[in-house]
Amino acid sequence: MTTKLSGIVNLKKLKEEGVWVPFYKEPFQLKVAFLDPQSWRKLIKETSVMRYNPILGRKEESVDDESFSQAFAHKVILDWNGLTKEVLQVLFPQTAVEGDVPDGGVPCTVDNKVWLLQSSSTFDRWLTDVATNAQSYAQTDKKEAYDNLGI
């Protein structure tokens, strides 16, 4: 009888339920779903479009950035809390953060998830690293998980 890895390693729970992961050392934490390589490729394929390339003189497949950001944010960010004005200042250090942030922080909505992902390269890189690295989910000590990710 052959043992199958798919019967031993259950990624379904990590993909569907996710885990709470703090954003660096800030009070901002996100419930992030794991995105395995197969799911990553599927997401890219689903958000690809055919576009005319005038340099090559033909159509070619490319990822639609807007569609990808929306799909990635929806699939990976399940929830968050603690997105305060101070955290926004960390994410956007050269920008004056204006306006009032509600008590408890900015709510986790579809629009807010997509906007943050598209507007902060720091957040985008961090989220991609965390969501695609199974080691992030295996660690009970989050500091150890960050050390393993090089964060």
- Looking at residue 132, the DSSP 8-state letter turns out to be T
Which is nearest to 136 in space by CA: 148, 126, 150, 125?
148
* Distance between CA atoms of residues 119 and 83, nearest Å: 15
Quickly tell me which residue has 């709510």 as its tokens.
Answer: 107
**pLDDT, tens digit, 9 for 90 and up, residues 107-124:** 999 999 999 999 999 999
pLDDT at residue 4 is higher than 90: no
Query: 145: which 2 tokens?
Result: 């998980």
What is the CA 105 to chain-centroid distance, rounded? 19
Side chain identity at 141, as an amino acid letter?
D
Exposed, middle or buried by CB within 10 Å (0-12, 13-18, 19+), for 34?
A: buried
Quickly tell me which residue has 């964060």 as its tokens.
Answer: 151
**pLDDT, tens digit, 9 for 90 and up, residues 72-105:** 999 999 999 999 888 888 888 877 777 788 888 8
pLDDT at residue 146 is higher than 70: no
Report which listed range, 11-15, 59-63, 94-98, 133-137, is most confident: 59-63
**pLDDT, tens digit, 9 for 90 and up, residues 16-62:** 888 898 887 678 999 999 988 888 899 999 988 888 888 888 888 88
Question: Is the pTM for the entire model greater than 0.95?
Answer: no
* Distance between CA atoms of residues 33 and 39, nearest Å: 11
